[in-house]
Amino acid sequence: MISVLFVCLGNICRSPVAEGIFKKLVKEKGLEDKIICDSAGTSSFHNGNSPDPRSTANAKKNGILLNHRSRQFTEKDAEDFRYILAMDNSNFSNIQELLSQKEGKDGQRYMMRDFDPNAKGADVPDPYYGAGDGFQEVFEILDRSCTVFLDFLIEEHGLDKIS
């Protein structure tokens, strides 16, 4: 099973939306028995909370239902998830710092937008303190990035050759 974890700061805006989009894409490709995903935050600010209502509303407007409770990223996630995708440089650094002293198995770490053909390696902006249209911008960035990332996984693991 290929395991993927999306990580942002509070796990209420960007990463649960990435998780929701990715789950839908995986289902559309019929790969639910090959790929699983989750999301987490590098902070514990919102542990146990549902996604931000603005994220939920915008995702729903775009055909994605979010069903997630915020949780904090832990060292165990590096063992449980083969791919870890951070939404921005700050969260990527937090992940690296947390795992720098850890020995053993470690997930492959990427920036989410390493898979965005429009802005490779850029941060996914945090819409939390911005206007409502920021949530749509983030959705579009994540939709593009998740699509390319799934194509990467399909190619990397030869999933198009498996029935």
Strands (E), 9-122: 35-41, 83-86, 108-111
Amino acid at 37: C
Please answer whether residues 107 and 83 qualify as being in contact, where contact means their C-beta atoms are separated by less than 8 angstroms.
yes
Closest CA to 5 of 76, 55, 59: 76
- Pick left, alpha or beta for residue 40 (phi over 0 → left; psi -120 to 50 → alpha; otherwise beta): beta
* Residues involved in catalysis: 8, 14, 126
38: three-class secondary structure by DSSP: strand
CA dihedral 71, 85, 103, 97 (to 10 degrees): -80
Which residue type sits at 79?
E
Structure tokens at 48: 């146990």
- CA dist 106 and 3 (Å) reads 12
